[in-house]
């Protein structure tokens, strides 16, 4: 039986979906985290510790594991594992991204520099490390830490004083390190989910984001596919994202790209060497009900990917925002949300009683709502109705 090593940060909650996809494919899974995996009690010796903060040490640990029991593929589920997977791919001969390309996706400054060298359309940008001295790229601008993801520390500023305040806040959130200031690009934002095979991009889904992401923070909410754009626009997005992946040096595996459309031009905001985050992948089905995780595992094992078009119905997901900081006391209305026509699932990912924080300091969402319907408009309406049915009760932190 083929054996796949999944690199899963301890804090992720994507393991069950990958394990289920592997079971459907007849593949054995070994789960590796930087600490004792939460699944260790149920998976026994198929749950191991692999350092994810040092790619060389992590790859050496994977080599040792391969020598002991044999590993047929390594899959990084989240950003934290992409460098380790790249280094392991080099040493074990698996299809992989070059380590330097994977590193660019973890460093926004390096990614921007690579895109600029290839003249890929993107916002004007500057790199700096003194939060009291923000370079000028025009206003409004967006300040962000170079090494964080998932919109953490990303803040819009409309003047110089606000830019300095945003830089100080971003610097504190990232606990130091390099910062980036970018031109704010208005327009419709979309996300492309794709798969690279030997540098060739296969588009799996194109999502639109109907909620305007204008700041001051950039908390994502609704993703709907198919995107409500014409074929010409979709083709332009595909070409620009393919160019961006090539400029970064990516060759193999899933990518998740964020773009904006302004004046009929595609602007690249982000390219990640992993699939869509959180539980959002549950909004996608391919072929005869194959999950996105199943597609990723098939690619990693070198299996055929024919007839994997996305299902014909529209689908979508809403990442439930955290409205304020404090202790989560209750989420009422869940039955009513699940009863909304078109809604196919609601999953909360933060237990009652936990402390919660919204963006830009926070690093997760309250949960996810999933919907399917005949049209994207119906999907969006179902997601909004489900969200409106929920009453999130948070006891605010005392001063």
**Contact yes or no for 220/277 (Cβ under 8 A):** no
Q: Kindly report, residue by residue over 288-327, the tens digit of the pLDDT.
A: 789 999 999 999 999 888 777 899 999 999 999 999 999 9
**Contact yes or no for 217/360 (Cβ under 8 A):** yes
- What element of type H or E holds 319? strand 314-320
Mean pLDDT of 328-348: 98
**Residue range 3-100, CATH number:** 3.40.50.20
Residue bearing tokens 């961006």:
244
Q: Which CATH architecture has domain 313-399?
A: Alpha-Beta Complex (3.90)
Q: How confident is the model at residue 38 (pLDDT cuts 50, 70, 90)?
A: low
Per domain, the residue ranges of the chain are 3-100, 124-183, 313-399
Q: Domain 124-183 has what CATH class?
A: alpha beta
For the cut 70, the answer to whether the pLDDT of residue 37 exceeds it is no
Q: What is the DSSP string of 191-252?
A: EEEEEEETTEEEEEEEEE--S---SSB----EEEES-SS-HHHHHHHHHHHHHHHHHHT--S
Helix (H, G, I), strand (E, B) or coil at 69: helix
Exposed (0-12), middle (13-18) or buried (19+): which is 117, by Cβ within 10 Å?
exposed
Res 43: pLDDT: 65
Q: Residue 100 carries which DSSP code?
A: H
Prediction pTM value? 0.94
Mean pLDDT of 268-290: 93
Determine the angle formed by the axes of helices 55-69 and 82-92, rounding to 10 degrees.
Answer: 50
């Amino acid at each position: 039986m083929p054996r796949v090593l999944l690199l899963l940060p301890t804090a992720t909650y994507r393991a069950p979906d990958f394990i289920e996809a592997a079971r459907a494919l007849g593949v054995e899974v070994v789960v590796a985290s930087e600490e004792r995996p939460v699944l260790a009690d149920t998976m026994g010796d198929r749950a191991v510790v692999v350092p994810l903060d040092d790619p060389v040490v992590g790859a050496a640990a994977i080599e040792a594991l391969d020598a002991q029991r044999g590993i047929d593929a390594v899959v990084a589920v989240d950003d934290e594992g992409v460098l380790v997977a790249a280094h392991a791919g080099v040493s074990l001969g698996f299809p992989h991204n070059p380590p330097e390309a994977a590193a660019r996706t973890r460093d926004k400054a390096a990614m921007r520099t690579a895109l600029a060298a290839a003249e890929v359309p993107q916002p004007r940008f500057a790199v700096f490390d003194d939060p009291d001295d923000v370079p000028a790229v025009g206003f409004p601008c967006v300040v962000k830490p170079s090494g964080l993801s998932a919109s953490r520390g990303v803040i819009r500023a409309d003047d110089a004083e606000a830019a300095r305040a945003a830089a100080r806040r971003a610097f504190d959130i990232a606990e130091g390190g390099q910062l980036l200031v970018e031109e704010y690009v208005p327009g419709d934002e979309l996300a492309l989910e794709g798969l690279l095979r030997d540098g060739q991009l296969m588009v799996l889904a194109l999502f639109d984001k109907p909620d305007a992401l204008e700041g001051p923070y950039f908390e994502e909410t609704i993703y709907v596919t198919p995107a409500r754009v014409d074929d010409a626009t979709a083709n332009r997005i595909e070409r620009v994202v393919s160019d961006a992946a090539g400029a970064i040096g990516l060759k193999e595996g899933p990518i998740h790209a964020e773009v904006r459309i302004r004046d009929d031009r595609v602007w690249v905001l982000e390219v990640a060497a992993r699939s869509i985050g959180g539980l959002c992948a549950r909004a996608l089905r391919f072929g005869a009900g194959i999950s996105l995780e199943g597609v990723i595992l098939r690619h990693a094992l070198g299996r055929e990917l024919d007839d994997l078009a996305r299902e014909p119905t529209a689908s979508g997901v809403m990442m439930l925002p955290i409205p304020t900081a404090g202790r989560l006391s209750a989420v009422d209305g869940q039955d009513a949300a699940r009863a909304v026509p078109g809604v196919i699932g609601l999953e909360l990912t933060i237990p009652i009683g936990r402390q919660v924080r919204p963006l830009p300091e926070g690093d997760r969402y309250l949960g996810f709502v999933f919907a399917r319907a005949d049209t994207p408009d119906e999907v969006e309406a179902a997601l909004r109705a489900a969200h409106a049915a929920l009453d999130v009760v948070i006891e605010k932190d005392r001063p």
